[in-house]
Amino acid sequence: MTDIRSSVACNLDSHILRAALPLFADEKVGAIEWSFDALVNPRSMPDWFAELLRTYSGAGRLLGHGVFYSLFSGRWTGAQQQWLDQLKSLSRTYRFDHVTEHFGFMTGADFHKGAPMSIPFTESTLAIGRDRLLRLQDACHCPVGLENLAFAYTVDEVDRHGAFLNQLIEPVNGFIILDLHNLYCQSRNFGVDPDGLLSLYPLYRVREIHLSGGSWAPSAVEPGRTIRRDTHDDAVPADVFRLLKQAIDLCPNLRYVVLEQLGAGLQTDGQQSQFQQDFLWMDHIVQAANQIRNPLINHSFLPRRFHVPDPSPLEDPLLYAQQLELSDILETSVSYAQAQQRLAGSGLARSDWAVETWQPAMLETALAIAQKWKNGFD
Partner 1 sequence: MKISKPLLQAMALAVAVTTVGSSCKDGLVKPKKEEAKKEQQRKLPDNCPACGMG
Binding site for partner 1 (CB under 8 A): 9, 11-15, 17-18, 21, 24-25, 27, 29-31, 35, 38-41, 44-49, 51-52, 55-56, 59, 61, 65, 67, 102, 112, 115-116, 150-151, 182, 185, 210, 212, 214, 229-233, 260-264, 267, 369, 372-373, 376-378
Q: How far is the CB of 229 from partner 1 (least distance, A)?
A: 5
Residue 34 beta carbon to partner 1: minimum distance, rounded to whole angstroms = 9
Supply the Cα-derived Rg of the chain in whole angstroms: 20
Q: How far apart are CA 264 and CA 232, in angstroms?
A: 9
Distance of closest approach, residue 100 Cβ to partner 1, in angstroms: 10
For the stretch 78-87, contacts whose Cβ atoms lie closer than 8 Å and that sit 24 or more positions apart, written own/partner, are 79/110, 79/111, 80/132, 80/313, 83/37, 83/111, 84/135, 84/136, 84/138, 84/139, 85/139, 86/36, 86/37, 87/36, 87/37, 87/136, 87/139, 87/140
- Nearest-approach distance from CB 262 to partner 1, in angstroms: 5
Smallest gap, in angstroms, from Cβ of residue 14 to partner 1?
4
Task: State in angstroms the smallest separation of the CB of 20 from partner 1.
Answer: 9
Cα separations (Å) of 77 from 71, 117, 293, 321? 11, 18, 44, 14
Residue 7 is which amino acid? Answer: S
Distance CA 148, CA 103 (A): 6
CB of 35 to partner 1, least distance (A): 3
Q: Phi and psi for 280 in degrees, rounded to 5?
A: -65, -35
Do residues 248 and 209 lie in contact, with contact meaning Cβ atoms separated by under 8 Å? yes
Residues with Cβ within 8 Å of residue 212, at least 6 apart in sequence: 179, 181, 230, 232, 236, 240, 259, 260, 261
CA distance linking residue 266 with residue 148, whole number of Å: 24
Q: Which of 166, 220, 175, 213 is nearest to 360 (CA)?
A: 220
Contact 104, 369 (CB under 8 A): no
d(Cα 327, Cα 367) in Å, to the nearest integer? Answer: 9
Residue 115 beta carbon to partner 1: minimum distance, rounded to whole angstroms: 4
* Of 285, 127, 142, residue with least CA distance to 211: 285
Q: Which residues are CB-neighbours of 126 under 8 A, at least 6 positions away?
A: 164, 167, 168
Looking at the Cβ atoms of 115 and 203, the one nearer to partner 1 is 115
**For residues 130 and 210, which CB has a smaller minimum distance to partner 1 in the complex?**
210
- Name the minimum Å distance from CB 377 to partner 1: 5
Is beta strand 31-34 parallel, antiparallel or unpaired with respect to 256-259?
unpaired
Cβ-based nearer residue to partner 1, 33 or 131:
33
Q: What minimum distance in Å lies between the beta carbon of 172 and partner 1?
A: 22
Residue number with CB closer to partner 1 (85 or 269) = 269
Q: What is the DSSP letter of 213?
A: -
- Select 60 or 344, whichever has its Cβ closest to partner 1: 60
